[in-house]
Amino acid sequence: MEFIEKELEELKNRGLYRKLRTIKSAQGHKVKIDGKEVVLLCSNDYLGLANNRKVKDAARKAILKYGFGAGASRLVSGTMTLHRELEEKIAEFKGTEAALLFNSGYAANTGVIPAVAGRGDLIFSDRLNHASIVDGCKLSHAEVRRYRHLDVKALERYLEHASEDEVMHAQKLIVTDGVFSMDGDIAPLDKIVELAKNHGAMVMVDEAHGTGVLGTKGRGAIEHLGVDANDIAVNMGTLGKALGSYGAYVAGTKSMINYIMNKSRSFIYSTALPPCVAAAALAAINIVQSEPERREKLHKNARFMKEGLDSLGFETMDSQTQIIPVLAGESSVACEMMDALMEKGVFVLAIRPPTVPEGTARLRVTVTSQHTRTDISRALDAFKKSGKEVGII
């Protein structure tokens, strides 16, 4: 196994080696790491629901009534009352006819994309789409055309070229993140939908980082941009970010959901989510719908953080959401900055290739509705000192 040790050493030399950090407390705006309380600025628990009392109570009651495990895949004996209740709730929340649960966002994307597109079909994918979308496209064996990030004109050119040869491609699918997880910007879904209609293409949107956060009702980027949910063939999202639970879903027409249920290998061959997980997600969606002030607080915190970082001279790219990248450039610099921040009581993760393109390593800052102005001010002070230490500002 000498090649493994060599590869690990190479990763360390290039600043790409990764290791696990253990948090010894519940998720929150502050957590304990190595016996030290630090401000947490790299969690996806955007609305502070992972440790919410109502969410925990719902899971606890479900365990007492239904036990923990589901016991089998959904198509065998693993479909339980709470799974169906959650799917109905998600469909109502998203404004679609039906929904289907998956065990993770990765499982959803790598299962759904190959189900709706295959050999002889054509997929148009944003270049900065999440790795799970990239892998789903590869598994589909369809022809994939990756268009420049957020470039509607480039997408239009690809679609026009494809329209000239309708015989070759039976189906056309446009797939994009709603909110891009490493950049914090939002896909121009309104324009993408218009192009799809003009060229007979389906649209699939990954709402992992928009669900619960964007839109008047928290439905995501689709709602935020005023797009009709019926114009999105596959509305995918996760339960483990703003909803504080675990798992994922796809929402759409009854026909589409029944099709995916019968064709998606990651759904068919996976044991169902524990019912208590579904109960927690149900409680979380109810909170999203009844407590819009959480979103309002999140957006205020995001603006305060981004404006503070910008004023200090950091490059925060074109973030429009609670995900705020702080560009470092080289991986070694990003890691140095991460360590400097941790020393000052702020936990932010360095994001490096292949997660982001070469030369764009960054600190991925995420704020939540739980952060106080004191937390953010403390973090900004740490960024100011650390940024000067490593030479970013």
Q: Is 209 a catalytic site residue?
A: yes
Q: Compute the distance between CA of residue 348 and CA of residue 233 in angstroms, rounded to an integer.
A: 36
Q: Is 132 a catalytic site residue?
A: no
Q: Which of 209, 297, 306, 384 is catalytic?
A: 209
Give 182's contacts (C-beta < 8 A, 6+ positions apart): 128, 323, 325, 351, 355, 356, 362, 364
Q: Which of 199, 241, 306, 371 is catalytic?
A: 241
Provide the edge-to-edge strand list for the sheet that holds 98-102. 98-102, 248-252, 234-238, 202-206, 172-177, 122-126, 143-147
Q: Compute the distance between CA of residue 326 and CA of residue 366 in angstroms, rounded to an integer.
A: 11
Q: Which of 43, 181, 245, 266 is catalytic?
A: 181
**96 CB-contact burial (10 Å; exposed 0-12 / middle 13-18 / buried 19+):** buried
Q: Which two tokens stand for residue 235?
A: 């509305």
Which one-letter DSSP state was computed for residue 17?
Answer: -
> 3-state class of 388 per DSSP?
helix
Q: Is 141 a catalytic site residue?
A: no
Q: What's the Cα-to-Cα distance from 139 to each of 136, 251, 366, rounded to whole Å?
A: 5, 21, 31
Catalytically annotated residues: 181, 209, 241
